[in-house]
Structure 1
Amino acid sequence: MSILLVTSSPRGAASHSTRVANPLPHIDPDYSTGIYTPAEARTQRQAEVVGVSDTVLDELFAADTVILATGFINFNISSTLKSWVDHVARSGKTFAYGDAGPKGLVTGKKVYIVLASGGIYSEGAAVQFDHAIPYLRSVLGFLGMTDVEVIRIEGVGMGADAVAAALAKASTKVDAIVAATGSAERVAAAA
């Protein structure tokens, strides 16, 4: 089994999502033009930035399981994880358009989203502010990845007891996933 772990927290070692689960450069004009330029006609810079994307695509297609670990930042995912999405969402590579509309080309993957947040966004009045999970489910589904499970680490901004409780709850969920899949490896062991 091949596991791809994408960590994206800007908090480094202090990250709660990374505890349970290499930043990519943000896309730029050289990337945006380079992906539509034939390889032999790309500038050196275009070749470099498209090469980063090609490497990320190779990792994605090689993986059986994908773990996306991110913090909840301003009601959405981190810009680092958004960069990963931008690098893998490529027409003709991970999705294509046909007579029936768009078709995801990345299929047969199990995806786990590990989302750490200072508050509680899975229930109550704050649910409406969670743009991270709906966005990720939409973009992953567009790419063909529809088997998505969410592991939340919520309330970590509410004190040390809340952090301990959130990590324990997430670990229990990870253990249940491992038990259900019969896998000897923990999902979080990839971290």
Structure 2
Amino acid sequence: MTKTVLRIDASARHTGSESRALTQRIVDRLAPTTVINRDLAVPVPAIDSEWLTANWTPEDQRTDAQRETLALSDTLIQEVQTADTIVIGAPIYNFGIPATLKTWIDQIARAGITFRYSETGPQGLMTGKRAIVAITSGGTQVGSDFDFASGYLRHVLGFIGITDVQFVAADQLMVDADASHAKAEAALQALAA
């Protein structure tokens, strides 16, 4: 049984959002004891030169201002560390993920905390977690040559150590909504709680 779920919604829409509806159904199916909600419609700030300088300054040498610069990133990472399962609502915008979701990823992908470099290459440190991605699109078929979202999400989650990644796709909703919803429902029912 899943104990803690981190639910991330990246849709810019609140009303009528297919990905938000799907993340809710996934969370309901998992029946966690605790849900941490992170709504990226209230975007996290993009990393900038001050953030990079603070991040690369050894922790014991950071100024108070640098600690404040990294405070949100630390909180976002803590949310991932706390969760057993991460449920991500990822609508495909222009063949990729929403900018707000990419910004969240930039905030949590920190060397020495969520991954590290070793002699054999990068090693993810967020192991033992599961991710379920509710991916939606109007016309892009998930897994097609024009889908730059699902492969990226699988890769970046694996990069930080989350290799158990499942997709519940409601894609090509503008092409055949009924077939899309039926496919998503089948994937949802196949999820182990």
- TM over 0.5, yes or no? yes
CA distance, structure 2, for counterparts of residue 157 and residue 49 of structure 1: 41
Does the alignment pair 1:71 with 2:91? yes
> Which residue does the alignment assign to 2:107?
87
Structure 2: where are the runs of 5+ without partners?
Answer: 24-38
Report the TM-score when normalising by structure 1.
0.82
State the one-letter code of the partner of 2:95: F
CA distance in 2, matches of 1:39, 1:12: 41
Post-superposition offset of 1:148? 0.7
Instruction: Note the C-alpha offset of 1:25.
Output: 2.0
Listed as ranges, the matches of 1:6-45 within 5 Å are 6-21=8-23, 22-23=39-40, 24-37=44-57, 38=59, 41-42=62-63, 44=65
Whole-Å separation in 2 of the counterparts to 1:113 and 1:90: 21
Matched, 1:119 2:139: yes
Question: Which of the residues 165, 168, 174 maps onto 1:148?
Answer: 165
Question: Do 2:132 and 2:165's aligned partners in 1 also have CA atoms closer than 8 Å?
Answer: yes
Within the alignment, does 1:169 sit opposite 2:183 as a pair? yes
Aligned equivalents of 1:170, 1:60: Cα separation in 2: 25
TM-score (structure 2 length as normaliser): 0.81
Map Cα deviations across residues 100-147 of structure 1 (whole Å, 9 max, x no partner).
221111101111111110114136xxx111111111111111111111
Higher helix share: 1
Write the letter of the residue equivalent to 2:145: Q
- 2: CA distance between counterparts of 1:10 and 1:99? 40
Whole-Å Cα distance in 2 between the matches of residues 120 and 93 of structure 1? Answer: 34
Following superposition, the deviation at residue 48 of structure 1 comes to 3.1
1:51 aligned onto 2:96: no
Please state how far the C-alpha of 1:49 moved relative to its aligned partner. Answer: 3.4
Cα pair 1:39 1:47 within 8 Å, conserved = no
User: What secondary structure does 1:172 align onto?
Assistant: helix
Match of 2:118?
Answer: 98
Q: Distance in 1 between matches of 2:158 and 2:77?
A: 16
Q: Which residue identity does 2:14 align to in structure 1? A: G
Aligned-partner residue type, residue 123 of structure 2: K
- The CA RMSD measured in Å over matched residues stands at 1.8
Aligned amino acid, residue 164 of structure 2: D
Evaluate the alpha carbon distance shift between residue 56 and residue 5 of structure 1 in structure 2; reply closer, same or farther with a 3 A threshold: same
2:92/2:140 contact within 8 Å kept: no
